[in-house]
Structure formats: C-alpha cells, structure tokens
C-alpha cells in the first residue's frame, strides 16, 4: 500500500527522498488556493516563479503578473494573492505568472518528485482521486511561513490523509499529527485557526473573506500539475 | 505575558531567535527521560556530547559513559539510553557522559538561549514551575528523529503548554498544534503513539517497558539545567 507523508517546512525537504513519489505542494493561505481558482476559471497555464523581476518580465509575453510579499500585493503587479482576483472578471484564455512569499518556493523545491501537484482545500477531493489512481507514495510539501510550521497547511495535509485513509498508510509521525489536528479542527476550521498569531496577522490585513473562501472544500475539481515550467490542469 | 514556542526539529532552529529566552530540549524516547532519571537518582552531573569517541574518553576521568545509536547501546559503553540503567544500581555521586542520536544534538544547538533546560514527561511539572518563576519566553526544542518531526516530543511540548496556559501565550502555530495533539492523546499516550511507524520501530527493539516509563508524568521534580558543559540539577 502506498504511503502519505507530510513535510511541514520547505527547510526540511532535503531530508525527504522524493524519487518515485508525487509531491503535493500546498500554501492554503493563499497561493495554492489562488492557483486552483485561476485554473478553474479560465487561466490556461501558470508560471510559478521565485523572483519579483522574473515575474514582472512575463508581462512582455502577454501574461497577467501576480505577486505577493508579506501578505500584500507587490507594487506594479496586476494581481496579488487573493483567489477573488481570479473571479472578479473573465480571465478565460489568459496566462499567469505568479510569485508569492512561500508558495512558489514549495513548488520549486518539490521538482525532485516524479510529479508535482498543487493542492488546496478547494480541490482536496480531486487531488485525492488523482493520487488514488496514480497509486504512488505521496509527500505533502507544506509551504509554511518563512520556513516555519503553520497550521493551515497542516490541516490540508490532514484532510488529504483522511480522504486517502484505507488506500494509503498514514503511519508517518507528521501524517498522524496532521490527521489528528484535522479531526479536531474540521467542524470549524476558521475557529480553530483563529487562535493562531499567524492567521490573526492575515486577518489584520482584512482578508477574512479570503480565508473563509480558502477553507472551503471541494469547490473545484481541477488538479494543477507541473509540466516543465508551467502548472496546467491535469487531464 | 511571556510566550511558549515550539521548534519541531533541530534543522529548523536557525529560524528561531533564542536570545533572552529559555530553551527546553526534549527527546522523550529516551535521551532526556534518561538524563532526568539519572539526576534524580544520584548522578551529580552529566556531560552531553556529540561524538562517540569524545564520550568514551570521559571514562578516563572516572565517568560512566553512555551511548545510543539508532535505538541501541553502542559497543564498548557502560550504559545505553534506557532510564532503567539509572535505576538498576546505586549511581550516587557518579558523573555521566552521554551521547545519543538526537537528544544531545538538541541540547548543543540550544546553547544560544539564555538558559537550557532538559525536559521530559517525567519532570514536566517541575519544568513548568521553573519556567513560570523565570517568566521569560520559552522555546521547546524537539530532538525529533534524524531531523524529522516526531510525535512524542511534540506531545511533551503540548503537555508543557497546557501546564503554562494562563501564564504564557500559546498562539504560535507550532504551540497550538502541540497543545491540541496533547489534548487528543493525553488520556492514553501509548495508544496514541502506537500507530506511529517510528514508535513501532522502537517497540521492535523490545523497549516497550522503557516507553511506558518515559510517558509517565511528574515522577521526578529535578530540573536539569546546562551550566557550562554540564547538566546539573537546578537549585
């Protein structure tokens, strides 16, 4: 039976062997939630990039450019890191380049895996279905916050573990922790997270509406998968 | 109000600022449980060292020498990593040098803090009392397993957070995770841990008796504190 493991911080990823496995990169608040929303609403492909300058340069190729640093939209970009930016107007057929504090780094570091998917609560069921069909070992790569453990990405890992229970082994310590935390939190994830100083900081940025949106499960069925340098919807 | 934070792996410790804080190093299974037991049973001071050779050299100074690698006693040493080794015969007045896979490293890396304590379930209440009197910010430094997150050290962090609730803020994400996991586990920590492949590996080494001993709370009131290169009982 394949296993699901969880890496709580990109800083710990060198300790994981990703060969032969599928990595699921997650930054629930808000990078991967925005990416899932973008692909579900007409964006054809996404270039996740590390540097602001690299991202901005994509505009010359007619990309929408999106950037977040420390929770807010970076100067000079079309879009920030809110999923609502991809719902406000029709983006059908557009391409997107995006850089965020933590999320794009998690995707980049996951490239050693056989495949890299992007997960969020918004598409957790679809990601679980994809993984079940693939039948390979899975490592959830949590973006964390500047290298530190965070609760919301951990809860996503726990939700994914719950969906895979019975078909995957859950006996890695990090997976068990995520699974149990999700059991405690799932009846009201927002209330559970509201004691976190990290989430309180996001709330002070007036993105409570974003947080509520990002905590919804199974809104979309799209599974973003990395092909070369681009995230596209898995067929 | 001072805060309690938790570092789940020594690999993440460079992200924490320990200046002005008290570090509590923990390796519940079994290094710090054995150290607490040793100081509670007559050992006068403990040299936690990284290398097997350095540890063995202490024998010339009439130290007991203890070493564990990958869960078993290393060849040529007096003692391994079981707390029962410090209960079997009278060790009163003896000095101890010890090296373990994860625990001694956590202590060494914690030295940037104002003070370094050693914690275990066996002395969790005494550690909490010490921290409450000191009134400084606290970082629990989990030894983990070869750099990876582990459940048992996390549960200790959660138990300590519970003891400090009301006098310390618990709103770091890692602290909240540890606190909630301890709430889930505390009625039967052994049953909670028994699904862990890491703990199952320890059980295969026939140390179930050790594990049960190490999960007991408040057996001892000694608080090991690092003074120079040695752990001694706090006065």
Residue A97 domain flag: yes
Residue A66 domain flag: yes
Residue showing tokens 């390979």 = A136
- Please answer yes or no on whether A181 and B183 come within 8 Å at the CB atom: no
Using CA atoms, how far residue B166 sits from B2, B20, B161, B172, B218, in Å, is 10, 21, 10, 15, 20
Three-class DSSP category at A201: helix
Q: Is B235 on the interface with A (CB under 8 A)?
A: no
> Would you state the pLDDT for residue A207?
83
Name the residue facing B197 among A146, A171, A183 (closest C-beta): A171
Name the residue facing B173 among A11, A15, A150 (closest C-beta): A150
Query: Range of A138's domain?
Result: 4-226
Paired tokens of A146: 């500047």
> Which residues of chain A neighbour B151 with C-beta distances below 8 Å?
173, 176-177
Task: Give B234→chain A minimum CA distance, Å.
Answer: 31
CATH of the domain at A38: 3.90.1560.10
- Please answer yes or no on whether A197 and B154 come within 8 Å at the CB atom: no
Residue A231 domain flag: no
A158 within 8 A of A165, measured Cβ to Cβ: no
> Which residues of chain B neighbour A180 with C-beta distances below 8 Å?
180-181, 184-185
> Would you state the pLDDT for residue B23?
98
If DSSP states are collapsed to H, E and C, what string results for B175-215?
HHHHHHHHHHHHHHHHHHHCCCHHHHHHHHCCCHHHHHHHC
Neighbouring residues of A13: CB distance < 8 A, sequence distance ≥ 6: A7, A109, A110, A141
> Would you state the pLDDT for residue B95?
97
User: What confidence category does residue A27 fall into, taking pLDDT thresholds of 50, 70 and 90?
Assistant: very high
> Would you state the pLDDT for residue A201?
84
Domains in chain A: how many in total?
1
Residue range A44-62: average pLDDT? 95
Neighbouring residues of B158: CB distance < 8 A, sequence distance ≥ 6: B178, B179, B180, B181, B182, B183, B185
Q: For the segment A142-178, what is each residue's pLDDT rounded down to a tens digit? A: 999 989 999 999 999 999 999 999 999 999 999 999 9
> Which residues of chain A neighbour B10 with C-beta distances below 8 Å?
none
Task: Give A102→chain B minimum CA distance, Å.
Answer: 15
Residue A24 domain flag: yes
> Which residues of chain A neighbour B15 with C-beta distances below 8 Å?
11, 146-148
Interface of A with B in 8-27 (CB under 8 A): 8-9, 11-12, 15
The enclosing H or E element of B230 equals strand B230-233
Name the residue facing B173 among A173, A184, A196 (closest C-beta): A196
Q: Is a pLDDT exceeding 90 seen at residue A21?
A: yes
Residue A233 domain flag: no
> Would you state the pLDDT for residue B9?
97
> Would you state the pLDDT for residue B72?
84
Paired tokens of A85: 């930016």
DSSP state for residue B148 in the 8-state scheme: B
As a whole number of angstroms, the distance between CA B232 and CA B140 comes to 19
Residue range B80-96: average pLDDT? 91
Mean pLDDT score of chain A, rounded to an integer?
95
> Would you state the pLDDT for residue B213?
96
ipTM score for this prediction: 0.96
> Which residues of chain B neighbour A29 with C-beta distances below 8 Å?
none
Q: For the segment B200-235, what is each residue's pLDDT rounded down to a tens digit? A: 888 887 789 999 999 999 999 999 999 999 999 998
Q: For the segment B101-150, what is each residue's pLDDT rounded down to a tens digit? A: 888 889 999 999 999 999 999 999 999 999 999 999 999 999 999 899 99
- Please answer yes or no on whether B12 and A15 come within 8 Å at the CB atom: no
> Would you state the pLDDT for residue B63?
97
Name the residue facing B196 among A149, A176, A185 (closest C-beta): A176
DSSP state for residue B41 in the 8-state scheme: T
Task: Give B203→chain A minimum CA distance, Å.
Answer: 14
As a whole number of angstroms, the distance between CA A146 and CA B56 comes to 40
> Which residues of chain A neighbour B195 with C-beta distances below 8 Å?
170-171, 176
> Would you state the pLDDT for residue B89?
84
As a whole number of angstroms, the distance between CA A35 and CA A97 comes to 10
Residue A109 domain flag: yes
- Please answer yes or no on whether A177 and B180 come within 8 Å at the CB atom: no
Name the residue facing B196 among A150, A171, A197 (closest C-beta): A171
**Residue in chain A lying closest to B194 (CA):** A171
Interface of A with B in 182-201 (CB under 8 A): 183-185, 195-198, 200
> Which residues of chain A neighbour B145 with C-beta distances below 8 Å?
173
Residue A232 domain flag: no
Interface of B with A in 131-170 (CB under 8 A): 145-151, 154, 170
User: What confidence category does residue A193 fall into, taking pLDDT thresholds of 50, 70 and 90?
Assistant: very high
Residue A235 domain flag: no
Buried b (16+ CB within 10 A) or exposed e, B98-130: bbbbbbbbbbbbbeebebbbbbbbbbbbbbbeb
């Amino acid at each position: 039976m394949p296993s699901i493991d969880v890496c709580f911080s990109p800083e710990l990823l060198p300790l994981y062997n990703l060969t032969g496995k599928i990595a699921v990169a997650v930054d629930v608040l808000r990078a991967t939630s925005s990416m899932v929303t973008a692909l579900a609403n007409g964006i054809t492909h996404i270039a996740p990039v590390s540097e602001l300058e690299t991202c901005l340069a994509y505009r010359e190729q007619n990309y929408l450019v999106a950037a977040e640093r420390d929770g807010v939209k970076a100067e000079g970009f079309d879009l920030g890191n809110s999923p609502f930016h991809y719902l406000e107007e029709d983006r059908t057929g557009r391409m997107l380049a995006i850089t965020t504090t933590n999320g794009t780094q998690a995707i980049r570091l996951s490239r050693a895996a056989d495949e890299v998917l992007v997960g969020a609560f918004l598409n957790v069921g679809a990601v679980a279905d994809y993984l079940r069909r693939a039948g390979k070992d899975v490592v959830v790569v949590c973006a964390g916050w500047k290298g530190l453990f965070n609760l919301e990405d951990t809860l996503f890992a726990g939700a994914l573990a719950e969906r895979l229970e019975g078909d995957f082994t859950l006996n890695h310590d990090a997976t068990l922790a995520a699974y149990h935390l999700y059991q405690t939190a799932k009846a009201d994830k927002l209330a559970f997270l509201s004691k976190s100083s990290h989430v309180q900081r996001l709330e002070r940025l007036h993105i409570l509406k974003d947080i509520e949106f990002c905590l919804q499960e199974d809104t979309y069925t799209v599974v973003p998968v990395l092909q070369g340098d681009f995230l596209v919807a898995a067929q």
